[in-house]
Amino acid sequence: MTFLWPELLGLLALVPLLVLAYVLVLRRKRKAALRYASLSMVKDAMGAGPGFRRHVPPLLFLIALVLMIAAIARPAAVVQLPSQHETIILAMDVSGSMRAKDVEPDRLAASQAAAKAFVSEQPRTTRIGVVAFAGTASLVQPPTQNREDIIAAIDRFQLQRATAIGSGILVALKAIFPEVEFDLRSSNPRREAFPRSLQSRREPDKGTAKPVPPGSYKSAAIILLTDGQPTTGPDPIEAARMAAERGVRVFTVGVGTPNGEILVGEGWSMRVRLDEDTLKTIANVTGGEYFYAGTAVDLKKIYRSLNAKFVMEKKETEITALFAAAAALAALVSALLSLLWFNRIL
């Protein structure tokens, strides 16, 4: 435990002085009592109650005083409290592969249902934003506490071509840090297929602050829900590193099955599989966690577990109110006992 105003603890020096004053008053009382001729009058002067019991109310009052001084010094401690995440960004994949039906009724519908369940379970104080990404990404709902607006944004999703997971992460970061310009230039996330001379280089984001430990930013988090098959846009791993440098955790949710499904279009067919490796790497880099969602039921379980992770968290917080309440209780008990036993307050 620490104190925000430790210099005020110097007031505790008054406590020994008060104890000394109390002892001197008792001695003076005894000397005065011995002047009476009658032994019964001596007993009355020294108090009719048991010897130790008459010291209980003053002792409780002294404890109340110590607690009150400690409260003035503003104590703080690491305790487990409900987390006050100011912002949670749902970054959701709306690419064509999300129409696969290996998750019933299909990947997109299942993810929408689970996302809406997650939103409804969050505290009203939590601001939630929604990012939709396919070939590009956009903030379809700025962070808000209005649950109806969030759910309406999720219901408006429409499937588009390509998958730019890196763009989804960067737009989510922009929603958390609107004053920062993130620039991660890349034309294809699958860099290994290109010569090094053609691979893009990461450009530093404008207004870059000093990097912080991954996962250390506790006021916001990103939940990335996708089938994990990037086909265009910024490299998702580099985007994840930018989130890690700002301390933002990215929790990834993989929608689909490892075997996937064959999608058929006009003159083409393609098997769409769940790419877990990319999603696991993103979560590891940022200090988040990866969850597999093979069915709609799994998705709901995942969001419930995410909710639990966001609800309780160890934080250093001021506990002045607890000390003040304890001091008030001790003073009240002291007064009540004094009235009950001696018909007076101390």
Question: What are the structural domains, with CATH classification, of the chain?
Answer: 2-79+317-342 (no CATH), 83-294 (3.40.50.410)
Q: Which position has the token pair 């299909």? A: 106
Q: Please count the CA atoms within 13 angstroms of the CA of 189 that sit on its side-chain side.
A: 22
Looking at per-residue confidence, does 298 or 68 come out higher? 68
Contacts of 296 (CB under 8 A, 6+ apart): 103, 104, 105, 110, 113, 114
Q: Which two tokens stand for residue 173?
A: 């970061």
Contacts of 333 (CB under 8 A, 6+ apart): 60
Backbone Cα Rg of the chain? 32
pLDDT on residue 149: 96
Cis bond before residue 105 (omega within 30° of 0) = yes
What totals of helices (H) and strands (E) does the chain contain, helices first?
10, 11
- Determine the angle formed by the axes of helices 14-33 and 39-46, rounding to 10 degrees: 170
Mean pLDDT of the chain: 81
Q: Which two tokens stand for residue 69?
A: 């001084």
Q: How far is CA 74 from CA 13, 65, 319, 331, in A?
A: 17, 15, 7, 19
pLDDT digits (tens, 9 = 90+) for 255-268: 888 887 777 666 66
pLDDT on residue 84: 56
Q: Please count the CA atoms within 13 angstroms of the CA of 307 that sit on its side-chain side.
A: 16
SS3 label, residue 281: helix
Q: Is-contact 292 276, C-beta < 8 A?
A: yes
Looking at per-residue confidence, does 203 or 304 come out higher? 304
What count of residues does the chain have? 346
Predicted TM-score of the model (pTM): 0.63
Is the pLDDT at 248 greater than 60? The verdict is yes
pLDDT on residue 344: 72
pLDDT on residue 335: 87
Quote the CA–CA distance of 143 and 141 in Å, as a whole number.
6
Name residue 95's beta-bridge partners.
Answer: 160
Is the pLDDT at 191 greater than 50? The verdict is no
pLDDT on residue 193: 34
Is the pLDDT at 154 greater than 90? The verdict is yes
For residue 195, name the pLDDT band (cuts at 50, 70, 90): very low
For residue 278, name the pLDDT band (cuts at 50, 70, 90): very high
CB count, 10 Å around CB of 136? 14
Quote the CA–CA distance of 300 and 237 in Å, as a whole number.
26
SS3 label, residue 238: helix
For residue 204, name the pLDDT band (cuts at 50, 70, 90): very low
pLDDT digits (tens, 9 = 90+) for 6-65: 898 888 888 888 888 888 887 777 766 555 545 555 555 555 445 677 788 888 989 999
